[in-house]
């Protein structure tokens, strides 16, 4: 029935109340909204969710673990489609973002993961088409670039084939509390999985001062995680 599964994680809802309505508004503007199932893994139920329980392609699941990566794992396991993407509650996507990535994966079965450039904003609930709080651009490298492995290149909104988790496992939030996504992309890269970069800003990343990796504590943990990943995969960052 659906072609894509979107995984969203909501930690303590009071922390994200300003973003939740904007996220639901944004997902419904996607050109392939009706072809997509949305799995929301929540830490605690909040009455704000009641406004969206009528949406047939939205499923709410109570979190059984702890942390965003465990929530993603739970959502991925519950996904009914072969293709998944994570979508942070405070990030926004342009109207054709999901469609453009899904087309690549449907047309070329040799591609396993699609990622794209992103704009960065300092304004919560900013407009992904014309961001008022535009701060900078994240223009990731192509996978064949020799510097690709030195940094987390797939951004906040990649789309990939669910089947790879049967081979490499799931996100390891215990070992990498703020960079388990980079660890996962490195696992897929070495599998090897073919990566495809869309050189277009399809995502608006919110530089959340209280985010998992962008808070003051998160920045400290990020540095530790980065060093561990570089060492794990034998990458020199010089």
The model's pLDDT over 189-237, given as tens digits with 9 standing for 90+, comes to 999 999 999 999 999 999 976 655 454 554 567 788 899 999 999 997 5
| Domains of the chain, first to last | 4-232 (3.90.550.10)
pTM of the model: 0.94
β-pair type (134-138, 36-42): unpaired
Q: What does the alpha-carbon distance between residue 222 and residue 226 come to, in Å, rounded to a whole number?
A: 6
78-129 pLDDT tens trace: 999 999 999 999 999 999 999 999 999 999 999 999 999 999 999 999 999 9
Task: Record the tokens describing residue 133, joined without a space.
Answer: 């709080």
Sequence-distant (≥ 6) Cβ neighbours of residue 132 within 8 angstroms: 121, 123, 126
150-196 pLDDT tens trace: 999 999 999 999 999 999 999 999 999 999 999 999 999 999 999 99
Task: Record the tokens describing residue 103, joined without a space.
Answer: 């087309």
Handedness of CA 189, 97, 89, 71 (dihedral sign): negative
Between 14 and 217, residue with greater pLDDT: 14
Taking alpha carbons only, the member of 183, 166, 208, 22 closest to residue 82 is 166
Report the pLDDT value the prediction gives residue 218, as an integer from 0 to 100. 47
87, 115, 137, 180, 201 from 196: Cα distances, Å: 18, 6, 19, 20, 14
């Amino acid at each position: 029935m659906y072609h894509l599964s979107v995984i969203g994680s909501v930690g303590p809802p009071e922390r994200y109340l300003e973003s939740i309505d904007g996220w639901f508004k944004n997902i419904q503007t996607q050109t392939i909204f009706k072809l997509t199932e949305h799995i929301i893994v929540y830490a605690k139920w909040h009455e704000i969710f009641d406004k969206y329980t009528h949406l047939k392609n939205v499923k709410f699941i109570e979190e059984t673990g702890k942390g965003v990566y465990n929530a993603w794992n739970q959502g991925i396991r519950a996904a009914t489609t072969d293709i998944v993407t994570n979508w942070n509650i405070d990030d926004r996507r342009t109207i054709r973002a999901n469609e453009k990535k899904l087309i690549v994966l449907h047309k070329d079965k040799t591609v396993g993961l699609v990622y794209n450039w992103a704009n960065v904003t300092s304004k919560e609930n900013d407009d992904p088409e014309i961001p008022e709080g535009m701060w900078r651009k994240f223009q990731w490298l192509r996978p064949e670039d020799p510097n690709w492995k030195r940094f987390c290149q797939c951004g906040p909104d990649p789309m990939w084939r669910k089947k790879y988790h049967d081979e490499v496992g799931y996100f390891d939030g215990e070992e990498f509390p703020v960079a388990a996504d980079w660890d996962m992309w490195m696992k897929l890269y070495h599998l090897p999985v073919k990566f495809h970069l869309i050189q277009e800003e399809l995502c608006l990343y919110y530089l959340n001062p209280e985010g998992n990796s962008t808070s003051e504590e998160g920045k400290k943990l990020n540095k530790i995680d980065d060093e561990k990943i570089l060492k794990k995969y034998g990458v020199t960052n010089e």
